Structure 1
């Protein structure tokens, strides 16, 4: 899904509407996550009624008040409004962790066409590889709530990032998902080799640091 937004500017739904406008920021935020594209409009009454449900759904999966480990889930609001004021109507009721495209960004309409959005609201659920997991998850979210995320995670074959090394996960250049495990193994082996080179065994079994001598 990173490919969908790598050259775009994503905004955070906070007071200052901070930008994610670098490749590193976008990769870090979106990589190895399931993405919900929320197509809606502030002028749509059905969207207004659904937004608190979606907001609660997202919070219960990502907010530390409800869960110990935040789900690998991103919510991105794709406004199909006809004015910036209409866009703000729903943003006010969406979580602060939600991302969105600015009203001026024509990419909103490109995404609408790409995912063949025919009704509002629509929540397109994407796997990390950008393929569609669910064309519209609105009814599932309403009737099943946060419990449906487990099925999404299994269907997406999502790799749990909690087992990855932090610095590896945040690297701009993402290698294979097994690479962090291999590098951890090699790191331990390299440390053992270095220790053998810098230490020599003396008589009686006492160890002495050989330093740089």
Structure 2
């Protein structure tokens, strides 16, 4: 989580929360690279939102951080309100978004990268895990 040290994350409501507070007691973090203009993203996002809600309903120590490739803050906020779960986002324009894309070699979207709290990569193919296994994949992620 060093890359997020001292950073603020945006909630769906638009409020800002420190990354430390947002990720307190979280064991597994998913970085969701996506954008409103991307048709595959718009198909996967509601699936991810259902997945997220089921894990939250079961108090899983899990959080998602949206890393937007939207062209404007309005597009990003609209996308979040329309399709996203109640997860966090890197504010549009924050240089940490580029850092995360480079760190995880993200070249296309949607991408869902799953890491341990310390930043160790569990899988770069979280999207396939979610689509094939649903919430059961969290148990595998958490055990690594």
TM-score, length-scaled by structure 2: 0.91
Among 32, 49, 53, the residue aligned to 2:47? 53
> Which consecutive residues of structure 1, in runs of 5 or more, have no partner in the other structure?
156-213
| Superposition pairs of residues 20-31 of structure 1, within 5 angstroms | 20-21=17-18, 26-31=19-24
Q: Corresponding residue for 2:30?
A: 36
| Superposition pairs of residues 166-185 of structure 1, within 5 angstroms | none
* Distance in 1 (alpha carbons) for counterparts of 2:78 and 2:129: 24
Give the aligned length.
142
Asked if residue 85 in structure 1 is aligned to residue 85 in structure 2, the reply is no
Among 75, 84, 87, the residue aligned to 1:94? 84
CA RMSD of aligned residues (A): 1.4
More strand by percentage: 2
Q: Is the 8 A contact 2:65 2:89 kept in 1?
A: yes
TM-score, length-scaled by structure 1: 0.63
Q: Is the 8 A contact 1:80 1:109 kept in 2?
A: no
Larger Rg belongs to: 1
Structure 2 SS opposite 1:75 = strand
Among 119, 138, 142, the residue aligned to 1:149? 138
Q: Corresponding residue for 1:18?
A: 15
Whose RCO is larger (CA < 8 A, sep 6+)?
2
Shift of 1:39: 0.3
Partner deviation per Cα, 1:36-60 (whole Å, 9 max, x = no partner): 0000111101000100000000000
Q: Which runs of 4+ in 1 moved over 3 A?
A: none
Shift of 1:82: 1.6
> Which consecutive residues of structure 2, in runs of 5 or more, have no partner in the other structure?
none
Q: Corresponding residue for 1:140?
A: 129
